Structure 1
């Protein structure tokens, strides 16, 4: 009995990196960092082969960089238990998380504009504008993080930041589907890929980020652990998003998953068409 009691006491006092006593977070962090880091690096290197005049890879590269930042922080979380270091890298991790959310919104907006307003989008899209948008996104997230820290890590501010993208994702998806139903110059495969990206963004955000709102309003330890694990999984989910944005890589998967799920109007239009319309969304896909 004494041995069992001492054993239980020993396990309760074990420190798993920055996650004191949270074995589940420690193991999941090891897995996500070990798998995510090399995959993120490979994805960023692969994007170097894309033509320099493409806008979409600029946003995806920034999304992957924010994921890389989170994964590096995850390595620190399992490597040390020093309070000051842990606190410092938790701020960096939250910064990368906020930037990741921003670029998910930007990618969804870019998909929507390329379909709903193709002429306007084609005339205004360029690398310089994209770089400026990226700089604004990074600075905005840093400003919000500083404000949140000055407010004593306000739960209201973070909850608002997490909720705001949801109606945007829904609007972009609805608007894109509506625009694609009227499009005649977009092939079926392109329609499937566009919808798949927007649906995947909404699913990723709903499953991985929204639970953090429950975490902010709950004192339940299990809820905290679950929310943390979901957030640590988000960089791997973004890599799945990257796969679906690569033209040719995700086509077979989409044919299997979306072939029987798309509206009939999607299957009837664009099968014999050529991509000649000015500002066609196919021009913005990665890997063209």
Structure 2
């Protein structure tokens, strides 16, 4: 256990030696982290450049995913510093910056799901209300919210309590993502102004966001809330590995948001009924 003399934060991890965290296999964690950085960092930079050109054409849709990728860049940079094992104070700072990026990425995942829901459930309202200015204001709010968690935890709150607060921050979006997916499916066939391929893509995005959230973030919520889970070394190591995979999973989300071959996959898997429904509606 290591304490920070300048704050009340108390760490349950051994940041010295070769372990992060102390229950994780150091070599495996080290190798997997560098693999994630080597693959994810350059691809994320390329994706941001590609999406930025779309925003310049007054297309507001990529704004949230661009900010999602920026939060991923923050996590990648923190991973680089953390695996370098700097001294305790620097490690502590980047440890919390990494959690700032994680919470921000969850917020932008919710924004992406909300936007896709509005396209289907409220298409006219969304078409006339969506502007770059409104999207930027939402992004600023999402960037500020993680500070509500990080700053008190860094300066005042004990680390044990911060785990519970972190779990609450991650748990709140879960029912929202379920609601957006359910509301989209409910309104799907009534949205006659949305093309069938766009419907498939929207459903695929919402399902993927919920799947990423469930697989990568829900184990961390369980680890933070259930004390017994923290003493299970296998589950603890798996939890931190999954959390570091989240920036790579966001790249898969980017693929689903692009038109192309993914439409054929979605059409063949689960959405053939939409085409038949559209054909019957047009014949009527």
TM-score, shorter chain, exceeding 0.5: yes
Residue 271 of structure 2: which of 253, 258, 262 is its match?
Answer: 262
Distance 1:190 1:35 in 2: 29
Residue 238 of structure 2: which of 211, 226, 232 is its match?
Answer: 226
8 Å Cα contact 1:18-1:81 kept in structure 2: no
Whose RCO is larger (CA < 8 A, sep 6+)?
1
Deviation at 1:272, TM superposition (A): 9.8
Correspondence 1:134 to 2:139: yes
Distance 2:207 2:20 in 1: 34
* TM-score normalized with structure 2 length: 0.84
Residue 62 of structure 2: which of 42, 54, 57 is its match?
Answer: 57
8 Å Cα contact 2:71-2:105 kept in structure 1: yes
* TM-score normalized with structure 1 length: 0.83
Any idea what SS the aligned residue of 2:53 has?
Answer: coil
Alignment of structure 1 residues 1-288 onto 2, 5 Å: 15-16=17-18, 19=21, 22-52=26-56, 53-149=58-154, 150-153=156-159, 154=161, 155-216=163-224, 217=226, 218-248=230-260, 250-255=262-267, 259-262=268-271, 264=273, 266-270=274-278
Distance 2:18 2:261 in 1: 38
Deviation at 1:31, TM superposition (A): 0.6
Distance 1:138 1:186 in 2: 31
Instruction: Write out per-residue CA displacement over residues 127-172 of structure 1, whole angstroms, 9 at most, x where no aligned residue.
Output: 0111111011101111222233322232221121111111111100
Worse overlay, 218-227 or 229-238 = 218-227
Instruction: Write out per-residue CA displacement over residues 47-80 of structure 1, whole angstroms, 9 at most, x where no aligned residue.
Output: 1221421111110100000001101111112222
8 Å Cα contact 1:192-1:254 kept in structure 2: yes
Instruction: Write out per-residue CA displacement over residues 164-196 of structure 1, whole angstroms, 9 at most, x where no aligned residue.
Output: 111111100010111112222332211110100
Structure 1 residue runs of 5 or longer lacking an equivalent are: 1-13, 275-288
Closer/same/farther in 2, CA of residues 35 and 272 from structure 1, 3 Å limit = farther
Distance 1:273 1:69 in 2: 47
Q: CA RMSD in A?
A: 2.1
Distance 1:223 1:171 in 2: 29
Distance 2:69 2:109 in 1: 11
8 Å Cα contact 2:149-2:166 kept in structure 1: no
Closer/same/farther in 2, CA of residues 119 and 187 from structure 1, 3 Å limit = closer
